[in-house]
Amino acid sequence: MKQILLLIGLASILFSCTNKGNKFLCPNVIDVEYALQNLSQLKTSDLGETIRYIPLETNDDCLIGNNPVVKVLRNYIIVEYSGSTSTTGRCLLFNKENGRFIAEIGHIGRDPAAFSKQFSWTDEKEEFLYFKRRPNQLIRYDMEGNFCGTTEFTSSGLASYYSITDSEIIGYFGGINPSRQYVLGFFNKEGILKDTIPLLLPKIQEEIVGISVLGPQSSYGIYGNWARAGATIIDYENDMRAIVVSNVAKIWKHNGNTRFKEDYIDTIYTISDSKLVPSITFHTGKYRMPLKESSSKSVIKERVFIADVSENDNHAFFQLAKQDQNGSVLYNALFDKNTGETKIGKHSNDIEDDLGNLTPLSPLGMSTVGEFISLVDVSVLMEWLEKHPEERNNEKLPIITALNEDMNPIVILIH
């Protein structure tokens, strides 16, 4: 019954919109098909009106490793990265206003205050950071790096992703665990399961015949932010395949609402009273990937996979991979909620910085207050300045005259 209600909701969204010049004039429909056939060159002025460059403090206590994950809160910047081994990942906290280093949060290990992975979630008030501790706990630190306790889930293992509010914890259960019975679990703050939403995608029942791992750089080139932490490719019998990534932002907050997007389903839902209400749908047209093809190893026709999605009051930003028998091409896409227009450009053509007139950039999603996030290595910026010496006195980034290759990256925020 729930699935029937979801389909009725999607149909009502589509039929309530008008179509003009192959573009849907509707705040609830993103016309991917038309925008893919009419590509754009995205600019930072498409994303917002102002741009800030925040050099992160550099000292021996806060050197940032390769392939970091950057999250921006109201008052803080979080940088997480894996070390050379499974036990050397770090979570670093910086001041959002000036880039000053505040603290390293927690550590990987086996003692009672240790976590299993450096990836974190924050609560609704952004007072704490939560980390996984296998097999069934979330541990909590405050924003000064103090250990503040645990939540133990007595009726389930750990989820793939969490959203933590004042009253509950929502867990997204992805991956390939054959025993999982639901896609979302709703827990109280003590870890007791209160409600669930059934799986939206069919399980693969075939036997596994091969497993391969893509590192962050390889997987990012194919799937973008969706696979920024790497990907595992699992091949099954009968030409079937699953691509599993970790720590993907499936649940996010927007205007007091909790949003949810499942892979291979072209809909953004609002979670209301432990139910899914269709809110925005992606019109992929001839590029739509039927669910029966989502686990197929072979892609014959042109299909699109909607990957990482983020949202603020004016825009939805997402990335998509267009796939066919010749491979995959990654695109950046921007939906304007006010005009109903969708712009899509190839990811290989970085977004032009016409607000700050510095190096082109690649968005990494949005902050919790709706700012677009990007990150630039200082070495990349220095190389760009050699080709554009006229920008060495750019007032947007006063530190530009004192750059050196040993500095931490620069966080870029657009609003």
HEC secondary structure over the chain: CHHHHHHHHHHHHHHCCEEECCEEECCCEEEHHHHHHCCCCCEHHHHCCCEEEEECCCCCCCCCCCCCEEEECCCEEEEEECCCCCCCCEEEEEECCCCCEEEECCCECCCCCCECCCCEEEECCCCEEEEEECCCEEEEEECCCCEEEEEECCCCCCCCEEEECCCCEEEECCCCCCCCCEEEEEECCCCCEEEEEECCCCCCCCCEEEEEEECHHHHHHHHHHHHCCCEEEEEECCCEEEEECCCCCCEEEECCEEEECCCCCCEEEEEECCEEEEEEEEECHHHCCCHHHCCECCCCCCEEEEEEEEECCCEEEEEEEEEECCEEEEEEEEEECCCCCEEEEECCCCEECCCCCCCCECCCCECCCCCEEEEECHHHHHHHHHHCHHHCCCCCCHHHHHCCCCCCCEEEEEC
What are the residue ranges spanned by the domains of the chain? 2-414
304-338 pLDDT, tens per residue? 999 889 999 999 999 999 998 888 999 999 999 99
The answer to whether 307 and 318 are in contact (CB under 8 A) is: yes
Statement: residue 8 has pLDDT above 80: no
CATH value of 2-414 in 1.10.3470, 2.130.10, 3.30.70, 2.60.120: 2.130.10
Assign 15 a pLDDT band (cuts: 50, 70, 90).
very low
Q: Region 225-254: what's the mean pLDDT?
A: 89
**pLDDT at residue number 19:** 52
Closest by Cα among 366, 358, 304, 356 to 334: 366
The answer to whether 130 and 106 are in contact (CB under 8 A) is: no
Quote the mean pLDDT of the chain.
89
**pLDDT at residue number 11:** 47
**pLDDT at residue number 382:** 93
